[in-house]
Amino acid sequence: MNGRIGVDLGGTKIEALALDRGGREVFRKRVPTPRGDYSATIAAVKALVRDAGEGSVGIGIPGAESQATGLIKNANSTWLIGKPLRKDLEAALGRPVRLENDANCFALSEAVDGAGMGAAVVFGVILGTGVGGGIAVDGKIIRGANAIAGEWGHNPLPQPSEQDFPLPPCYCGRAGCIETYLSGPGLSRDHERRTGQRLKPEQIVSLGDQSLERYMERLAKALASIINVLDPDVIVLGGGMSNVARLYTEVPRLWGRHVFSDQVATRLAPPVHGDSSGVRGAAWLWND
Ligand SMILES: [Zn+2]
């Protein structure tokens, strides 16, 4: 077998990478995503894979393939929704393609040779413009019966306290979703509601005031509910908020009160591969 090619089909850029048989990076290229244009998106992936050469092809997308229909759902790159993307890519590339949600690719990448290397159960969390997640067990993604395993962002925030009300409305039609508090924009909205000041997440983080304290308490509660269900060895954070160093010391201090255990052995870790985790995880979809 030749190497493994991974493609991260994002909303603003498409990135491809090739790993040799030893897992070393031997090719990388990125192009802007032809937003809104489905056939141009297929053509862009085809050109990148041609440049990457021979090898298996895994693709990460900001969405999921419906198990029922094979069509794309839950994608914020809306021009992919309802399309038979995997079939169309296989036809264009002349190779079998494995397609996965990008948060699942992140979890897989960190599980195979990142922050979760050697751990049996890894929960990968995206804290970015949205909140997503993925589960890798023994170096394999758990996709789930509905292809939504790990998607904790649209669960309600556990045990909301006075400061969490009124529950913020979410684009998914619910209110008080974890994503409305723990995404970057969620932190900005919360800070504005409290202070009247409109700031970027990184500005709020550098203030280090009550808004960040509240964010960390909410993250601790939300992750504690994951620990109670999945009991992962490692939780790896990704997305813009994963750059906040304080999370890794403060949140494990806070989550103990919410976890149903005398001690919590779960580690909270920053990503090893950072922004490359998605494209690396896509390549590792052929990890068998
Ligand atoms: Zn929601």
Written as one string, the DSSP assignment of the chain is ---EEEEEE-SSEEEEEEE-TTS-EEEEEEEE--TT-HHHHHHHHHHHHHHH-SSEEEEEESSEE-TTTS-EES-SSGGGTT--HHHHHHHHHTS-EEEEEHHHHHHHHHHHHSTTTT-SEEEEEEESSSEEEEEEETTEE---TTS-TT--TTSBPSS--GGGPSPPB-TTS-BSBHHHHHSHHHHHHHHHHHHS----HHHHHHHTSHHHHHHHHHHHHHHHHHHHHH--SEEEEESGGGG-THHHHHHHHHHGGGSSSSS---EEE--SSGGGHHHHHHHGGG--
Query: What's the CA-to-centroid distance between 135 and ligand 1, angstroms?
Result: 20
Model confidence over 84-115: pLDDT tens digits?
Answer: 999 999 999 999 999 999 999 999 999 999 99
Query: What's the CA-to-centroid distance between 168 and ligand 1, angstroms?
Result: 10
59 pLDDT band, cuts 50/70/90, is very high
Q: Is the pLDDT of residue 2 over 80?
A: no
Q: Is the pLDDT of residue 1 over 70?
A: no
Amino acid, single-letter form, for residue 9: L
**pTM exceeds 0.85:** yes
Query: What's the CA-to-centroid distance between 149 and ligand 1, angstroms?
Result: 15
Query: What's the CA-to-centroid distance between 259 and ligand 1, angstroms?
Result: 23
Q: Say what percent of the chain tops pLDDT 70.
A: 100
State residue 222's pLDDT score.
98
Query: What's the CA-to-centroid distance between 156 and ligand 1, angstroms?
Result: 8
